[in-house]
Structure 1
């Protein structure tokens, strides 16, 4: 009997030792939630498919299921909704950040800086970062200490005896998207070079190495074919580096469930809190250290999750103020207006943006793109700030540049490069375009007249460009109102980043649109048909 008990004890001890040699680390990841704190679209007045409140529900449930976990985020969190704008960036904003408050409730272990974190300038960013109860990471960001930004490069945390190294990388293209005053004193290094230098050192201190980058993939994951975005996306190149167990990406808003790319597991959780990436890393102890031996994972949709009541309660006071502000009467919309993602002709909504830009700046010409992101119908009736946010959801400011006639034509040729021709069937003809090119890169010009031939070779599509009825000559000069994103080089437009600057209007466009509505009172949306396809 004694021998049996001893034998059983030996077997039990052996089993426990064996069990202790294996473990599972659960990694939960979000990115690009863009301050969608609650699952409701205040601009379109309809439910949304995701939110930080629903992310909180998923994360809490997953934590209960596996307490050995890490929760990370890839950035772009403090810009994107009226709730966030009125809380942290509008004139007289109180400054308490609802997105950060919600993320504090979720309980992140680390968050990487995204490019949109810089949209409101360093003072706003600094204030929001200091409200966070989690560390910020951006190993390729230089000058952070001098700029008083509380950001590090990497950290090592321990879960159940497993050392987890986390390296964060921001997008180095920020100087091409935001005006210099929003990142003055900072430098942005190549994330691939930084990771190549730091991952081997981090590997010495960690059993598992996770890289979180605010960037997508510059190649098709299935074919490996380049997609032309290597200036802002680095995921493919990062995945080729040795020593990375898990690469978590963002920026491009794609739903990429966990999958292998070479020797590295990669994933991306879409946008706006619509998915939470879950990756379970199987671990085994070998020679005194833990090694990744396997993985499984998925992107968990949040659309049908119940919002976490803590997040809802925290956001409720500011949400009530935002709803009241968006419904504030400014005047009258005298005719219906459809705000669309990409109009196929001169458009009343885009022409409203042009009108605001021209009046605010006094420029001769205006360059602008459709920014609505989807169709929203506004009936005739009260004119409110809701329409301003539908027309212009981004916090861009305005810059007036001086262009020659030759430069202006080059800019327009770039604006129409995405059209790929006309396809005709028995049912009629339709325009075709490059679906990889975002709709916000299809700018039009106001103050001039011109035709576009979508079937002509790229660079030869603009016909009959005239200003004040006169054909534009190469040596002519014009003042052109553009947004700060274009002025910083956004969209790769030629000349705009280097053109002489005549004037800058340092106010968000949504504020300028609200002022325009207030001054004019009655708005009758109409396109002036100053351009057309041939």
Structure 2
């Protein structure tokens, strides 16, 4: 157990440090971190983030820290996979190789690392020169951990234990076709057993959990699996010195105890969370920031001297509404940029060209598809219904990963919406069977990936009672047979949907969600967004 202090917390948007040089009695650690990369190895259209600029910044931060006599550790909170077609089409090879060249020490395994078969994740580990960590993923066949659980680092005289942990929600939101042989154990239980074993064997100076579990303010995790705050509160005080997290994709900046600083923006001060003697940090998403924490260890007391989220070429609005850089421009590292450019060009060549157009935005933003019915969901379902001749269709909102803007639509736009390569499936059910199924899927609340999006279906749900179900505007006939379209992820039980793959009348096709949506635009453009507006 260790006693923690917060003294002179100076938060800046630059890499400045107020630490003094190392002494015989004091040791120092500069901890750098990112999370939820989601395929963003390349900068966006505005030149924001990107791994080449990230490398320039991290190289500078490492050099400054080492000049002050600090140990340096660079961690990722996981979810390197899935988000940008140029990366997805290459199984994130540029992302993992880019991270290796930047010099990451370790990463947590995120739920999106299972968007592909396990053999792909094994290949990604082979591409990388740092370990993928998760102590709570168990191989059901062997009963052993499937991946490396922890790593001991010895840096500048400091012995640092890093334990990897993955959200148990992966069992629900991961692709059931790929994770059926894995068990995701409770991270708190695993850590409570593992940390003392590590302490006894290695006697580390500092123990860090690098996690992909999510930060939920004051442990309000809702229908999600418990995250970093819950774990820190439930472990013995000081068992973990630091949690470097991911998954909830937010900057963890606190106004006061258990109150988030909702005013945070690039370039502003950020104070990380602290729960039960454990600091909790997260750097939003996509490499938009590099988190930098400076610690002093003296007389077995760990003190946080500085913390900052340093923006990587992010733009903000000035007082006149014009775009300006939130901090000084970071020149991309030319060597890494040249290496990544080859991958960017290769990926871009596969998705170039117009396939159709739409007259207004099709809404697919995360803060919409998990809360309310959106027009893009209806277009997606219409495409899938057309593929299999269904009477109606549904999907979970969390499967929609981006919007489609008004104007010309490219295959890249389609793949940003549908990066998962799910197949289109259907099932023929009687009205009674369908009603029983809808009893479950209509119960999922907003603010969850399971939130139901539907088309050619209507119903009422009041006081947890389902009623007035209609298919294509007509009352549900309990004796009639209906065909429902659904993707293979939800049909296999993804997001907690009832499993359909073992039911009579279930058929899986070879058509993918991306292929169906691409074909829909090719055949129905110009698409009129108003035709798919929720009623």
Whether 2:183 is the aligned partner of 1:187: answer: yes
Change (3 A) 1:277 1:481: same
Aligned to 2:336: 311
1 CA distance for matches of 2:161 and 2:22?
Answer: 25
Structure 2 counterpart of 1:444, from 453, 459, 462: 453
How many pairs align? 470
Paired residues for 1:135-534 under 5 Å: 135-143=131-139, 151-204=147-200, 205=202, 206-217=204-215, 219-221=216-218, 224=219, 226-231=220-225, 233-242=227-236, 243-257=239-253, 258-284=272-298, 286=299, 291-304=301-314, 305-330=330-355, 332-333=356-357, 335-341=358-364, 342=368, 349-368=376-395, 376-379=404-407, 383-401=409-427, 403=429, 405=431, 408-409=434-435, 437-438=447-448, 441-446=450-455, 448-450=456-458, 456-460=462-466, 463-467=468-472, 470-474=474-478, 476-493=480-497, 502-505=506-509, 508-517=512-521, 520=523, 522-525=525-528, 532=535
Aligned to 2:124: 128
Structure 2 unaligned blocks of 5 or more: 1-20, 254-271, 315-329
Change (3 A) 1:347 1:277: closer
* TM-score normalised over the length of structure 1: 0.77
Paired residues for 1:21-60 under 5 Å: 21-40=25-44, 46-47=45-46, 49-60=48-59
Structure 1 unaligned blocks of 5 or more: 1-16, 41-45, 89-95, 420-433
1:105-132 per-position Cα deviation (integer Å, ceiling 9, x unaligned) = 1111111111101102122222222110
CA shift for structure 1 position 388: 1.3
CA contact (8 A) 2:173 2:496 kept: no
RMSD: 3.6
Change (3 A) 1:500 1:23: farther
CA shift for structure 1 position 363: 3.6
CA contact (8 A) 1:279 1:297 kept: yes
Change (3 A) 1:261 1:369: same
1 CA distance for matches of 2:388 and 2:119?
Answer: 26
Aligned to 1:427: none
Change (3 A) 1:139 1:150: closer
SS at match of 1:247: strand
CA contact (8 A) 1:36 1:272 kept: yes
CA shift for structure 1 position 47: 2.1
2 CA distance for matches of 1:150 and 1:133?
Answer: 18
1:252-299 per-position Cα deviation (integer Å, ceiling 9, x unaligned) = 101104231121111111111112222222112x4xxx5524453222
1:168-217 per-position Cα deviation (integer Å, ceiling 9, x unaligned) = 01222323223333124322211111101001112231111001111013
2 CA distance for matches of 1:337 and 1:106?
Answer: 40
2 CA distance for matches of 1:18 and 1:107?
Answer: 24
CA shift for structure 1 position 143: 2.4
SS at match of 2:181: coil
Change (3 A) 1:339 1:410: farther
Whether 2:92 is the aligned partner of 1:81: answer: no
1:198-246 per-position Cα deviation (integer Å, ceiling 9, x unaligned) = 01112231111001111013x523xx5x331353635422443131100
* TM-score normalised over the length of structure 2: 0.77
2 CA distance for matches of 1:18 and 1:148?
Answer: 41
2 CA distance for matches of 1:58 and 1:144?
Answer: 42
1:35-91 per-position Cα deviation (integer Å, ceiling 9, x unaligned) = 101121xxxxx3264333333222211101112111111111022111112223xxx
1:293-333 per-position Cα deviation (integer Å, ceiling 9, x unaligned) = 44532222223433332332111122123333333244x43
